[in-house]
Amino acid sequence: MTETRRIALVTGGARGIGASISEALAADGLIVAVADIDSDAARQTASALPRDGHDGFYADVTDEASVVSLFDAVSAKLGRPSVLVTCAGILLFKEDGSRPLVVETDFDHWNRTMAVNAAGCFLCTREYARRAPDRDELGRIVTISSVAAQLGGYRSSASYIASKAAVLGLTKALARELADRGITANSVAPGLIDAPMLRLSLDPSNDAAASATIPLGRLGRPDDVASAVSFLVSPQAGYVTGTTIDVNGGYRMQ
C-alpha cells in the first residue's frame, strides 16, 4: 500500500527556528513546503531535509497576492497542505543596534513589523482556512509568537511585542472558528532561543549572564521549539487547540 504523507507549509522556513521546524516535520514523515522571501535559501533548506518530496517556494507574507500564489504553487506541486506553521518574522532595531522605545518608534518601523509578524500571519492562516475542507481531522495551524508578547519584552521593541501579542489573539480566534471543521490552531511562544533573531540583540559573550536568568540554565535551541511544533501537528494533539506552549526553560512562570 502506498504511504500517504501529510503536507506541511512552513513560512520563514529557510533559516533558524523555521529551518529546524522544517527538519523536524520532515523527519516525522511529512512532505514540507519551505517558504521564504529568500527563495534560494528555501530551496537549499528543502533539498537538505530528510526523506524526499520536499521543495522550496518564494513568499512575501506581507503581500496578499504573493500568499495566494504560494498556496497555489504548493497545492499544484505537492498537494494541499494540511499543516501550516507561520514562522516568518522580523525584529527591527535602531541604526545603533539598540531597542527603540515607544516614543522613538517611527510609523514605518511600526508598520513594517506589523506587516510581517501580524498581517503576514493573518494572510497565511486566512488562505489556509479558505482552502481547507469542511472536515479535516488532521488539519493543524501552529503560529509562532514570543515570550516578549507575554512579558512586555526586554530586548524587543514595542512593535515586536504588540505584533506577537496579535498573533496570540488571532490564534485563539482561529481555534474557535475552525473547531467545527476538525482543525486545531495553537501557538508556540519561544523564549531566548539561540537563533539568528536573538543574535541581533545578544552577543555570545553575554550568553552566561542571559542563561543565568533562565531556570534551566541555558539558552534554548531551535530544535526545542521544533519539538513543540512537531507535537502540535501530530495526531496525538488532536484535542489541543486555542492554547500556547511556552518554550522558554522556565523563563516565564505563572
C-alpha cell at 26: 520532515
- The three-class DSSP label of residue 99 is coil
Q: Which of 250, 254, 253, 185 is nearest to 224 (CA)?
A: 250
Query: Global pTM?
Result: 0.93
Which residues are designated catalytic?
160
Phi, psi of 229 (to 5 degrees): -65, -40
Of 25-39, 49-63, 144-158, the poorest mean pLDDT is in 144-158
**1 — pLDDT class (breaks 50, 70, 90):** very low
CA distances to 114, 231, 236, 239 from 174, rounded to whole Å, are 19, 19, 20, 15
CA 160-164-170 angle, 5° bins: 145
Beta strands in 6-50 (DSSP E): 7-11, 31-36
Helix (H) or strand (E) holding 231: helix 222-232
Give the model confidence (pLDDT) of 35-90 as tens digits: 999 999 999 999 999 999 999 999 999 999 999 999 999 999 999 999 999 999 99
